[in-house]
Structure formats: C-alpha cells, structure tokens
Chain A
Amino acid sequence: MFQLALARMREFYREPEAVFWVFGFPIVLAFALGLAFRNTGPGQLQVGVMPGPGDSVLAATLDSSPRVVASVLDTATGRLRLRTGRVALLVLPGDPIVYRYDSTRTESGLARLEVDEVLQRARGRKDPVAIRDDRTTAPGSRYIDFLIPGLLGMNLLGSGIWGVGFSVVQARQKKLLKRYMATPMRRSHYLLSFILSRLVFLILEVVALVGFGWLLFGVAVRGSFFTLAGITILGAFAFAGLGLLVASRAKTIEGVSGLMNLVMLPMWILSGTFFAYSRFPDAMIPFVKALPLTALNDALRAVMIDGAALTTLGAPLAIVAAWGAVSFVVALRIFRWR
C-alpha cells in the first residue's frame, strides 16, 4: 500500500499541470481577488453635476470634500455615466436640489449621504449632537479573511475529486486496474492508497494557501492549528471518497470529466466559497447547508476567523464525515474493477 501511495504521488508531481491546478491556481486566485477586494474603503465617490444655475459653485463645494470627486457634465454625458455606473449620483441644481441615483447600488447610497452632508453643511447646517469617529480595521472582517478559508475548502474539493477521479479512470482505461487485479493486491489497499497520498499533498496544500494568506494579507488562524488540521484531514477524506464515487463506474476520461463538473460546479457556486451563501433565498438554505463543501467552509471559517473550538463544530463536521463515509461505501460497492 505504501508503494501504491508512493506511485500515486510520483505520478502526480511529475505532472506539472496537475501541480499548478492544485497549488498554483488557488494562490493566484487568492492573490487576484485579494488585490481586487482589498480594504481601501469605498474610495472616492464620483459625482456629476448637471448644467443649471450655480452648477460650477456646487461642483466646487462638493469637490472640496476629500471623499467626493465632482465635475459639471452636460446632460447627455451625465445620463450616460449614471447609467453605466461611472458616476454614483447626479446632482441637478435648482430649488429643490435633485439627487438622481440608483437606490439599489451601495455606492450610490453612500454618495447620497456624503453629498447631502457636504451640501447641507456648506449651507450652514449645525449638528445637534457632537460626534467623534473611531476608525478601526479588524483582521477577520475583510474579504480576504472570508476568501482564504473558502479557497481552502474549494481546493480540498478540487484536488480530492480531480486527483482521485482522473487517476482511477486513467488506470481503468489503460487496463492497469485489471493488471492490478491479476496480482494478490488487496482492493481496499488500492483505494486506501489514494487517501494516503491525498493526506501528504493535503499538508502541502494547506500550508501553501494558509501561509500565502498570512504572509501577503496577514490572514491569521484564530483557532488552533490542530483543529484546522483535523478539519482539513476530514475534508480531504470526504472528498477523496466523493472522488472515488465519481470515478467508480466511468470508463473514459471524458465521461468522468462531465461527472466531476456536475458534482463540483454547483458547490463552487452554492457553498459560499466566494460570497456568503446567505444571499441565496431562504428556501434554498437547508439544501445548501447539506452540501459537504458548505459544511466544510463553515467549519474552516469558524476556526480561522472566529477561533472556534473543535467541539462546537459537531454539526458541520458530521455532515462532511457522512458524505465521505457514504460515498466511500457506495464507491466500494459499485466500483468497476476491470
């Protein structure tokens, strides 16, 4: 079994594409998304002022605020820019002053508040209560803090299903599986060798991704590393089982690729990898929560962000373990050895 696992690992690391997809890709993804959604705040709000009496004075007043960039635009340009989102809000001079904006856009809502604040103060409004701002940036609340555990979960899913599925189907297609059957090798050893080799790569995957998040974005692990290790091992087992199940019957690489996408795509979207699954309609939430990747992501976030202890994670971990156990048993039952 040790030799089988060793062979599996050698086949893997001698495949440069596979190495990239498992290690490189999540890191590139984390880097790109981390950069795109870095916490610089909402940035400067682009505001347009339509032509009218006192338009340039209005624009200058707004522009003096550090958070607003305002300029006078002609009517057609202003409409176009509002429609395409290049300005968050249009100010129509007059009495009353009209704010034109799309109330469903977060940025426009912010611009509405900011512009109103600047204009009212410029016209002499006095605040009835004294206010002091106390700004903090808490690690754990940023997008990258949310993203890294999600990518970790997605990576465990992907490498489990790809790593196991492709090797099994390839061995079956090349009649290597049949050749193994002609030796005294135990069938369970063959399947366990996948799990063993997955464990070794798992350590590298987790270290690479968590280390990357920590070094570049300061994403810390609040909970214990042992808890994190336990959860990732359980996740790797479950997804290796799922990979075996996906590959248990397929005879061709094309066939198994379709099945893999069928399994993985819904989870990538639904399981809260890139955004919180609470955005989905309430009716879908129980279904989404029953998915193994959702449960794993929840558990990973609880440990990395909230610092939760293993004991509080019974429910999601039970879901992950159940998926793994059921897939493994079913895979063993229906596995096509020839």
Chain B
Amino acid sequence: MVAVKGLDLTVGAGECFGLLGPNGAGKTTTIEILEGLTLPDSGDVEILGTPWREGAAGRALRERLGIQLQETQLADKLTVTETLALFRSFYKQSHTVDEVLALVELEEKRKARVVTLSGGQKQRLAVACALVSKPELLFLDEPTTGLDPQSRRQLWEIIRRFRAAGGTVLLTTHYMEEAERLCDRVAIMDHGTVIALGTPRELIATLGAEHVVEFSLSDAVPDGLMDMLRGMTGVTAVRAGVGLSLTVTELHRTLPALLAELQRRTLELASLTTHHATLDDVFVALTGRQLRDT
C-alpha cells in the first residue's frame, strides 16, 4: 500500500514547519521517513545536510535530533526522573535531568511514576525525552492530539521557547488552529500528497476572501437561491454542505445584503455564524470535505 507519494519539501533551519491533514493523510509516514525510522521505497531524504545511513553515521545524526513519536507509551513503572536519566544516557551531549524538567515544567512530578501522570503530563514528558539531547531539530508527531486546551497551550509554549533558542521544529497535527499559531509554513496533506504549501497567511489568502459566513434555513433551499448568492457582491465562493457556506471579502457589506435578501424571499434562518477564514476553510475549499469529520 502506498501511504505517501510525490513529496517534495524543504524545511529551513530555525523554521517551524507543520504537516497538516486528516488522519490517514500520510503525515506520520512522512515524518517517520524523515526520522529515518521508515525506509522510503524511493527518493532521497537529507536531514541537517546528511542522508540517513546505517551504523555510526546514523547514530551521529541521531545525536542532533529530538524525536517524539505519536504512539509511544513510556515505561509505566519508571519515575519521571528515571525515564529522563535513561534517555539522557543515550546521548553524548545532553541537558541534565533538572534542566529538561524545567523546560517542560514537570519539576513537581519528578518522583511520580509515569503511570500516574495525566495525559498532558505524559505528553510533556515525551517531549522532554526529545529535548533532553539538546537537539538542533525537533520532530513532533501530533504532540497535542487528545489533550485538553490548557495542556495544549502548555505544549505550544514549550515549542515556542525551543524555537526562541534557535531550534528547528517539524510537527504534524490535524488541528489547523495549532498550525496557524505555531508554524511559519505548513504543508496540507491529503491521501498521501501535499495539496497546498505556504505560510498560513498565504494559504488563507488563496481563498480570495477573509471571512466565512455559514447559515442554514428552516426549510429546504429554494431553486435559484444558490445562483443569487453567487451573484452577490463580495462573495467569492458558495458551498452547500450541512448548511450553506459563503466566502466573503467584506463581511460588513455582504451580511446586511444577505439578510435583506432572505427576508424579501420570506426565508427563515435556522442558524447563522461568521468567522475569520482559517486553514480549516482552506482544507474544505481544497478537498470539499471537513477536516475534523474525516
């Protein structure tokens, strides 16, 4: 089975690069090929200017990387300190256990066994195991999936501090919001290929408009309404999904016009929301599917 094909990406030093996409898009396969854990069937990978090699060269490269894998469960019976001491022992150069505990703010849990940690704490410990080697390049595979909002923000803060110290980050996520906040550039993946690449701002700009209006009607959508909506000034795209979705350039002009038009046709609104266009909207525009449902 082919999980990923025709990928051509370059991540610059000091950059935070995000691989985005729904589950099964091939993000994990991609990041594991880059991490040297999965061999690609074809193609070249260069990390920090060197290709992956077996033996001493590979180990020398690993000294410079920090890796957090999506599914790793650390040993339950070990304490936080013991786990970090173990990972630290694999590297020639590393942070002390205390330093790395401070980086991820787990000092008060140092003596706790891994099994007693909350989901967010476990994830911070996993990131700590990646940071302990003082890496130049940090790989994070869905670091915040399944975490509560507070834990997510804590992790974002850890990543920001790592970048502020000059580190390069490559992360995968299926939260577009996360990518918008953290990443300099993102690649949106779907079905194993990159369907969009650029800064979050650039990608949102491809929608041609900054606002999204979503509404639904109490009754069926009458014939001709879609065409009428497409013809309205400031509307760049109309999509019918669960309700109707308009991409608009100037919300303050289009919204009153829309409401007036609906009233004239005596159509009753069941719901109406508006938001700034996000990477979610980019994904919907590119694939016709909602990111979260898939």
Report the Cα distance A332→B90, complex, angstroms: 20
Interface centre among A171, A179, A181 (most CB of B within 10 A): A179
When distances are taken between beta carbons in the complex, the residues of chain A under 8 Å from B88 are 3
Contact of B62 among A15, A174, A175, A184 (CB under 8 A): A184
A178–B141 CA distance with the chains assembled, in angstroms = 14
| Distance between Cα atoms of A181 and B37 in the complex (Å) | 7
Q: CB-CB contacts of A175-187 with B at 8 A, as 1s and 0s?
A: 1101111111110
Q: Is the CB of B73 within 8 A of A174?
A: yes
With a CB–CB cut-off of 8 A, which chain B residues contact A10?
A: 77-78, 82
CA distance A182 to B91 in the complex (A): 11
Select one of A3, A15, A174, A182 contacting B86, CB under 8 A.
A3
Instruction: Report if A2 contacts B (CB, 8 A).
Output: yes
- Given contacts A3-B85, A3-B86, A181-B37, A186 and B73 within 8 Å (CB-CB): no
Contact A182 B35 (CB under 8 A): yes
How far apart are B112's CB and chain A's nearest CB, in angstroms?
13
- Inter-subunit contact B72/A184 (CB<8 Å): no
User: Across the interface, do A4 and B74 meet the contact criterion of CB distance under 8 Å?
Assistant: no
Once the chains bind, are B69 and A179 in contact (CB under 8 Å)? yes
Contacts A3-B89, A178-B37, A178-B72: A186 and B59 contacting too (C-beta < 8 A)?
Answer: yes
0/1 string, B88-123, CB within 8 A of A gives 1 = 111110000000000000000000010000000000
- Please name 27 pairs of A and B residues whose Cβ atoms are closer than 8 Å in the assembled complex, sorted by A: A3-B86, A3-B89, A4-B86, A7-B75, A7-B82, A10-B77, A11-B75, A11-B77, A14-B77, A174-B74, A175-B69, A175-B72, A175-B73, A176-B73, A176-B74, A181-B37, A182-B35, A182-B62, A182-B69, A183-B87, A183-B90, A184-B60, A184-B62, A184-B91, A184-B92, A185-B90, A186-B59
Most chain B CB inside 10 Å of its own CB: which residue of A2, A7, A184:
A184
Which residues B201-260 have CB closer than 8 A to chain A? none
Give the docked Cα–Cα distance between A1 and B65 (Å). 20
Which 5 A-B pairs rank lowest in CB-CB distance, beginning with the nearest? Answer: A3-B89, A174-B73, A182-B67, A184-B59, A183-B90
Instruction: Kindly state whether residue A38 has any CB partner on chain B within 8 Å.
Output: no
Across-interface contacts of B69 in A (CB, < 8 A): 175, 178-179, 182
Q: Does A121 contact B (CB under 8 A)?
A: no
Q: A175-B69, A178-B37, A338-B37 are in contact. Are A184 and B90 (CB under 8 A)?
A: yes
- Contact residues in A for B36 (Cβ distance below 8 Å): 182
B168 sits at the interface (CB 8 A): no
Instruction: Tell yes or no: B41 within 8 A of A by CB.
Output: no
- Interface set of B (CB-CB < 8 Å, partner A): 35-37, 59-60, 62-63, 65, 67, 69, 71-75, 77-78, 82, 85-92, 113, 129, 133
Q: A3: nearest residue on chain B (CB-CB)?
A: B89
CB distance from A19 to the nearest CB of B (A): 12
Which residues of the partner chain B approach A185 to less than 8 Å between Cβ atoms? 90
Q: Would you give the shortest CB distance from A9 to chain B, in whole angstroms?
A: 11
Which of the residues B65, B75, B91, B92 comes within 8 Å of A176, measured between beta carbons?
B75
Question: A5 to chain B: closest CB distance in Å?
Answer: 10
Q: What distance in Å separates the Cβ of B13 from its nearest Cβ neighbour in chain A?
A: 20
Given A174-B73, A175-B71, A176-B73, also A182-B37 (CB < 8 A): yes
A210 to B99, CA, bound (A): 46
Not counting A15-B77, A175-B72, a sample of 7 additional A-B residue pairs whose C-beta atoms are within 8 angstroms of each other reads A3-B89, A4-B86, A6-B82, A11-B75, A176-B74, A178-B69, A182-B62
- Bound-state CA distance A10–B76 (Å) is 11
Question: B35 — which chain A residues lie within 8 A by C-beta?
Answer: 182
Collect the chain A residues with CB atoms within 8 Å of residue B75's CB. 7, 11, 171, 176
Separation of A77 and B85 alpha carbons in the complex (Å)? 73
Query: What distance in Å separates the Cβ of B109 from its nearest Cβ neighbour in chain A?
Result: 17
Give the shortest distance, in Å, between A201 (CB) and chain B (any CB).
15
Residue among B60, B63, B82, B92 facing the most chain A CB atoms (10 A cut-off): B82
Minimum C-beta distance from B131 to chain A (A): 13
Q: How far is the CB of A25 from chain B (nearest CB, A)?
A: 21
CB-defined contacts of A175 to chain B, threshold 8 Å: 69, 71-73
Q: Is the CB of B72 within 8 A of A176?
A: yes
Distance between A12 CB and nearest chain B CB, rounded to angstroms: 9
Q: Chain A contacts of B37 at CB under 8 A?
A: 178, 181-182, 338
Determine if A183 and B73 form an interchain contact, defined as CB atoms under 8 angstroms apart.
no
Beta-carbon nearest neighbor of B113 in chain A: A14
Residues of A within 8 A of B113 (CB): 14
Residue of B nearest to A1 (CB): B89
Closest to B139 in A: A182
Shortest distance between the CB of B122 and any CB in chain A (Å): 12
Q: In the bound complex, how far is the Cα of B133 from the Cα of A162, in angstroms?
A: 33
- Give Cα A2 to B74, complex, Å: 18
Say whether A184 contacts B63, CB under 8 Å: yes
Q: Which residue of B lies closest to A181 (CB)?
A: B37
CB-based contact B71/A183 at 8 Å:
no
Residue of B whose beta carbon sits closest to that of A11: B77
Q: How far is the CB of B110 from chain A (nearest CB, A)?
A: 15
Residues of B within 8 A of A176 (CB): 72-75
Cα distance A184–B90 in the bound complex, in angstroms: 6
Residues on B with beta carbons closer than 8 Å to the beta carbon of A4: 86, 89
Q: How far is the CA of A15 from the CA of B113 in the complex (A)?
A: 13
B35, B65, B89, B91 pick with most chain A CB within 10 angstroms:
B89
Q: Give the CA-CA distance A178 to B70 in the complex, in Å.
A: 11
Q: How far is the CB of A65 from chain B (nearest CB, A)?
A: 62
Q: How far is the CA of A182 from the CA of B78 in the complex (A)?
A: 20
Question: In the docked arrangement, what's the CA distance between A4 and B77, Å?
Answer: 14
> A171-214: which have CB < 8 Å to B?
171, 174-176, 178-186
Q: A3-B89, A7-B82, A178-B37 are in contact. Are A183 and B77 (CB under 8 A)?
A: no
Residue of B nearest to A189 (CB): B90
A184 to B36, CA, bound (A): 12
- Chain A nearest CB from B266 CB (Å) reads 59
